[in-house]
Structure 1
Amino acid sequence: MTDTEAPTAPDPTDADQASSAAAGGAVERADTAALQWARPASAPAARRMHDDPDQGDLLDGMPRRSLLRGTVIGPTLIVLAVVAAYAAVTLLWPLTAVMPTAQSVDVAPLTASAAAPAWPAEGSAAVAVDGFESTSPEGTLTSTTDAAPLASITKLVTALMVLDRQPLALGETGPEYAFTSRDRSTYWNYRARGESALDVPVGGSLTEYQMLQGLLIGSANNYAARLADQFWPTDEVFESAAADWLRTHGISGITVVEPSGIDSDNIGTPAGVIALGRKALENPVIAEIVATPMVDLPGAGEVTNTNDLLADPGVVGIKTGSLFVNGREVDDLATARDLTIGDTTVRTYATVLAQPSDELRDSSARALLAQLEAELTTPYVIPAGTVVGSVETAWGSNPEIRTTADAAVILWNGAASSSSSTLTVDEWEAGSPAGTFTLTGPVNSTTVEAAVSAEIEQPSPWWRLTHPLQLFGLID
């Protein structure tokens, strides 16, 4: 518009708006004034602070608590405390419920080689060892089952039968037997027939014990007859009684028809003679007599034992026999020897029958006894260091348990050993005692110590942490 232009008339609309604004302001001021009584004095300021965009919240400068911090940190600390407590308990808990134990293992038995006696070239023979009855019939090895004349070995049967009827204990002498000149004549008749006999004390007497000494040491046929006649008046009665006695005592292979052995029909197998010898040595009176090298008897004087092997170490008897059969000399010997091996005594037996001379009889018996000694003293040993068990732990530390010394037993003729262990673990170091191992044979046994071969390791921390139920003894 130019200066010459006339003024523009006001817009009615603008006028209306201005009028309305003025009216509104007036109303607002009126409302404020009307409510001023209900507001605190600071209200206008608070309103102005709120309306002022440059004025901050009163709490903007204060530290604020995070809701996440309260819900996470607390439980985390509890969990950590529980874990720490669990670890401490399991790592320090004593091993009472899971202590190491010992488990034995089988040890292979030892087995003796089969015996192979060197039998004499002539006649027959047998050997035996007490305690090894299971290795062969009655523990006897024999060259043949054929019977041969017993000769004076028969007197063992006579002595045993007399003692059954008229027993003696060691130290007892028994009843006395009186002798007259007739008895001396009888003695000379025996000698005239070539039989073994001993003189008698005419007008004197011999006790039962002395009679048995003359019978078994001097092999006197006249003493045999005198003892037997008081109970069995004839050979037929004696034969029947002897058969009953042998059967009652379980001795087979022996036939006896008279008490002295002069009859060649008195016969026995080598095994039967071994059994008879064993039975005789079970009687302490007979055992004492047959081990006596020499005796002085009234009437007879000094009498030497006919068993030459009594001079050999360990020989304890028992009886010889000699007889001529069909013009041929027959010599027999039943003998026994106690063999000491370590701290064990083993009784061995050898019988030789129908040998052509007393020298061959003695040498053959000695050879058989020597072979028995060699076989019995052959070492059968479980050596030191043999594994006899192991330590068992729940965490896998399982060192072996081994013997600390040799264990030996006596074996013969295919006999086998057995073994057992008594094991326990009380200490954890290598070499700690862990019980005993026992090796057993038919006649002896040996017990040796066993020890842990290596240190038993402690369970690892990981094992403790991962096996609480075992550690606390709640499960096996």
Structure 2
Amino acid sequence: MQPARPAEAPARPEAPPKPPADAPAQPAPLDLLAQLTNRTPPPPSASRTVARRLKIWSPLVLLLAVLLGTVQLVRPLPDPKFVVAGNPYTFTGEAFAMPWPGEGQAAAEVVGVGSLGTYGERKPVPTASVAKVMTAYVILKDHPLKAGEEGERITIDATAAKEAGAQEESRVEVSEGQDYTQFQMLQMLLIPSGNNIARQLARWDAGSEDAFVKKMNEAARELGMDDTTYTDPSGLDASTVSTAVDQVELAREVMKNDALRTIVKMPNADVPGLPDRIYNNNDDLLVTNPGGLGIKTGSSGPAGGALMWAAKRTIEGKERLIVGATMAQRQAGSDDANAHLKVVKERSYKMIKAVQDALVPATVVRKGDVVGHVDDGLGGRTPVVATRDLRAVGWGGLKAQLELTDGGKGIPREAKAGTEVGALAVGTGPGRAQVPVALRKDMAAPGAGAKLTRLG
């Protein structure tokens, strides 16, 4: 046998021929594809730049506009507010001129109408017994009394009984162990102006006179009496000082209390347990002036004559309260406290009488008058009208400021014509005159356009 031949190896493929050295290089397939599909970009121009930027930014701007619009639509709306139309009402007639005292200081006002002005330098001066009004105010604040009530019983201590014999100051003859009602003690405090009664009330209320004086000063701060300092409950100390303006603040407040108002207008009183009837230093002023209401006198060497006073005048069936204070009045060439007291009462009476005579009623606004509008804060304005005549009291030359108020109820955002939405008031304080106001036409809530275009 012949030996087997070895198997032949498979033929190897021939390598492609190499291109000549000077032949151009062939591009890679991806590069070739790019050459076939890409075009040379056109040369740049302003229009093409703008177009390109618009393509990029337009969607962003649109998105931002949508977001801002949504925010504008859902933002809380501003609260509607009233805007008064026109100028203040001026009372006709000759301009009122207060007969001020010519020395010291004075202030006065018609409660619910406004201030009658002030006289003199506003600096603290001794009050003398006018301080007892604050003593009474604090007592009634801590131990309220309604009209006709007598209140708690208070026992006279040894100190008050001993002070009853002091000849150099005003006092009431009481004895240790006696007891009197709170109302009777206030009578003894304010009518004959008992210093020993003021101190007794202070000890009864606060445990000590110093603790009570602290209460007096706290009450003064609460009332805005920033130029007032109390150092004792009776006013005997010359360091107890105030101003006429501050005392008017207190006068207005105390005349709200029925029990105190009853006492201060008493010319005299009989208190069981006292040896004699007690008399008010205001008795001649009360008798001379039918509208006189007290309130409290004070007199001493340091203070001169001082008086916190009140009076009234009834106009169109309504009582108008006048309050004032006159301080640091003196009888020239005299050191007699009673002479100073006589002067301050005479000068105060002239002011009281002048104000009473000057007060006149007037129709400030007539029913149906447009008195302002509701501003919805987004450009919408709805007029409001008075639902009836607004009658007020003033004096010649007084410029009466008008105010629209919602009475704490809030102004609606939409309502029908004729809906009462608040009140028109004239004057100052809780006693001022006012009438309801109503919408003259329908008031619509702000629309989408107003919400979208609002600023701020």
Change (3 A) 1:201 1:299: farther
The size of the alignment, in residue pairs, is: 297
1:111 aligns with 2:90: yes
Change (3 A) 1:368 1:199: same
TM-score scaled to structure 1, two decimals?
0.55
1:374 to 332, 347, 357: 357
2:291 to 279, 303, 314: 314
Change (3 A) 1:219 1:419: closer
Pairwise CA distance, 1:169:
2.3
Equivalent position of 1:121 in the other structure: 102
1:301 is paired with a residue of what secondary structure? Answer: coil
| Structure 1 unaligned spans of 5+ | 1-105, 390-405, 421-437, 448-476
Pairwise CA distance, 1:446:
10
1:207 aligns with 2:181: yes
1:260 to 234, 240, 243: 234
1:199 is paired with a residue of what secondary structure? Answer: coil
Partners in 2 of 1:358 and 1:419 — Cα distance?
41
Pairwise CA distance, 1:417:
7.2
Q: Deviations over 1:151-174 (max 9, x none)?
A: 111111111112222222222222
1:154 aligns with 2:154: no
TM-score scaled to structure 2, two decimals?
0.58
Pairwise CA distance, 1:295:
0.7
Pairwise CA distance, 1:380:
4.5
The 5 Å alignment of 1:2-41 reads none
The 5 Å alignment of 1:155-304 reads 155-179=132-156, 183-188=160-165, 190-191=166-167, 194-201=168-175, 204-297=178-271, 298-304=273-279
Pairwise CA distance, 1:107:
9.3
Partners in 2 of 1:182 and 1:120 — Cα distance?
39
Change (3 A) 1:358 1:229: same
Change (3 A) 1:227 1:182: closer
Partners in 2 of 1:226 and 1:173 — Cα distance?
17
1:323 aligns with 2:300: yes
Q: Is the 8 A contact 1:174 1:207 kept in 2?
A: yes
Partners in 1 of 2:285 and 2:266 — Cα distance?
11
Q: Is the 8 A contact 1:198 1:300 kept in 2?
A: no
Which has the higher Rg, Structure 1 or Structure 2? Answer: 1
Pairwise CA distance, 1:323:
1.1
1:305 aligns with 2:280: yes
RMSD of aligned alpha carbons: 3.4
Percent identical residues: 28
Higher helix share: 1
| Structure 2 unaligned spans of 5+ | 1-84, 331-339, 371-388, 405-422, 437-456
Partners in 1 of 2:152 and 2:392 — Cα distance?
47
2:90 is paired with a residue of what secondary structure? Answer: coil
1:213 is paired with a residue of what secondary structure? Answer: helix
Q: Deviations over 1:410-464 (max 9, x none)?
A: 22463337699xxxxxxxxxxxxxxxxx9985344799xxxxxxxxxxxxxxxxx
Partners in 2 of 1:302 and 1:321 — Cα distance?
20
